[in-house]
Amino acid sequence: MDDTGKAYWSATLSLLGKILVIWFLISFGAGILFVDVLNTIMLGGYPLGFWFAQQGSMYIFIALIFYYARKMNEIDRQFDVHEE
């Protein structure tokens, strides 16, 4: 693999790593680890920890999908491997 290919995969893996860290913090962190702290904040009449565990994490996950698609398009264009 040439240097361009290595740089492409490095950028792709970096993006995936960042997204997985956010996914972990939201799913495991906000829903389980930090629930007591988050429950001191109310959102729409419900404790924030409960909201993240029941609904909020889904919104974050959907946002991550759109963010991933946009960033991958940018990376593909940067390394000239995009589809037209």
**C-beta atoms surrounding 36 within 10 Å:** 9
17 closest CA partner among 71, 76, 60: 71
pLDDT at 31: 81
pLDDT at 77: 94
Name the 3-class secondary structure at 34. coil
pLDDT at 27: 86
Structure confidence at residue 8 as a pLDDT band (50, 70, 90): very high
Model pLDDT for residues 21-67, shown as the tens digit of each residue: 999 988 888 888 888 998 999 988 889 888 888 888 899 999 999 99
